[in-house]
């Protein structure tokens, strides 16, 4: 293996091919030419002394060596993006400007944060927000995001964290659905209703099943791993499903069912890397998200 330093652009093209599965797809994603991507991958293979891809009828298949490099290339990409955000955010002392990348769940990102972000931007018009909607806990230590709203207590010591509190989740249905089908009075009666729930269980859902009092995947007539899709089905009157209580309270058509028998809580935190404490753009965004989430949890 050569000791010559490998340029980031080679890893960038390598990661794009890994993600897109072809040279042409990577070229489109990076907005460069396909021959350039090919030269980058070839140069990287020569410098590392490794074969990274094999050709197949469906495109380029990553080798075992390529898969071993994937998480490191992804970490480099996150660091490069964080560097660009920091470089583009330099202004006068205390000036709130530049890009802040915020990670949160789809429900929080769509239903809770938009008015918070709108008010934040009205106060700081030079601020730009990248909102990443995912249930995956993005790694703040590797700067995949600057700030995260998490439904779990952060474990890393290098994170600045503010506990929001417990956000209750309970069974809900639209009022007219209950008028058509009746209201269940016990957990046993739920089997006679259309239940809305997840499709593929995750470790979190398997743990949450202890609080779901026997609700299992095979009991759900309507299944989706999208929390937004489940919420839309509840709002459409399609059946009974789990919904965050503060969110349901905003909708007069939704009724909570069996609150004593069926409920669990999401421990909610707003977190960011402690190194960003002195960043005006991150501090202003962090404070706005904390205030907005506290108001939501108390509603």
Together in a domain, 55 and 66: yes
Together in a domain, 204 and 253: yes
Domain coverage including residue 276: 98-165+267-298
Neighbours of 170 (CB within 10 A): 19
User: pLDDT of 150-192, one tens digit each?
Assistant: 988 887 777 889 999 999 999 999 999 999 999 999 989 999 9
Q: How many domains does the chain have?
A: 3
- Whether residue 93 has pLDDT greater than 70: no
Q: How much is the pTM? A: 0.69
Together in a domain, 227 and 171: yes
To which residue do tokens 């909570």 refer? 256
Identify which has the larger pLDDT, 2 or 274: 274
Together in a domain, 147 and 221: no
For residue 272, being part of any structural domain is answered with yes
For residue 89, being part of any structural domain is answered with no
Give the mean model confidence (pLDDT) for residues 243-266: 93
Together in a domain, 233 and 291: no
Give the mean model confidence (pLDDT) for residues 209-237: 86
Predicted local confidence at residue 183, as pLDDT:
97
- 64: domain CATH number is 1.10.10.10
């Amino acid at each position: 293996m050569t000791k010559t330093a490998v340029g980031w652009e080679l890893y960038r093209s390598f990661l794009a091919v890994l993600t897109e599965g072809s040279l042409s797809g990577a070229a489109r994603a990076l907005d460069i030419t396909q021959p350039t991507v090919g030269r980058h991958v070839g140069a990287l293979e020569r410098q590392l002394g490794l074969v990274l891809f094999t050709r197949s009828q469906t495109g380029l298949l990553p080798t075992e060596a390529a898969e071993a490099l994937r998480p490191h290339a992804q970490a480099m990409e996150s660091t490069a993006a964080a560097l660009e955000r920091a470089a583009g955010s330099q202004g006068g002392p205390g000036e709130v400007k530049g890009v802040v990348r915020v990670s949160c769940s789809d429900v929080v990102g769509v239903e809770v944060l938009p008015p918070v972000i709108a008010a934040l931007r009205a106060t700081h018009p030079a601020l730009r927000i990248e909102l990443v909607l995912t249930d995956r806990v993005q790694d703040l230590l590797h700067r995949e995001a600057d700030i995260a709203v998490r439904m779990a207590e952060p474990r890393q010591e290098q994170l600045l964290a503010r506990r929001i509190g417990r956000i209750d989740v309970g069974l809900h249905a639209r009022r007219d659905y209950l008028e058509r089908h009746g209201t269940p009075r016990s957990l046993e009666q739920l089997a006679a209703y259309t239940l809305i729930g997840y499709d593929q269980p995750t470790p979190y859902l398997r743990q949450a099943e202890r609080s779901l009092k026997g609700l299992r995947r095979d009991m759900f007539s309507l299944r989706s791993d999208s929390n937004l899709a489940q919420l839309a089905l509840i709002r459409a009157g399609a059946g009974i499903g789990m919904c965050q209580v503060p969110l349901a309270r905003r909708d007069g058509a939704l009724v909570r069912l069996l609150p004593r028998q069926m409920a669990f809580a999401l421990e909610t935190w707003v977190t960011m890397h402690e190194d960003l404490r002195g960043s005006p753009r991150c501090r202003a965004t962090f404070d706005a998200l904390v205030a907005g989430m506290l108001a939501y949890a108390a509603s």
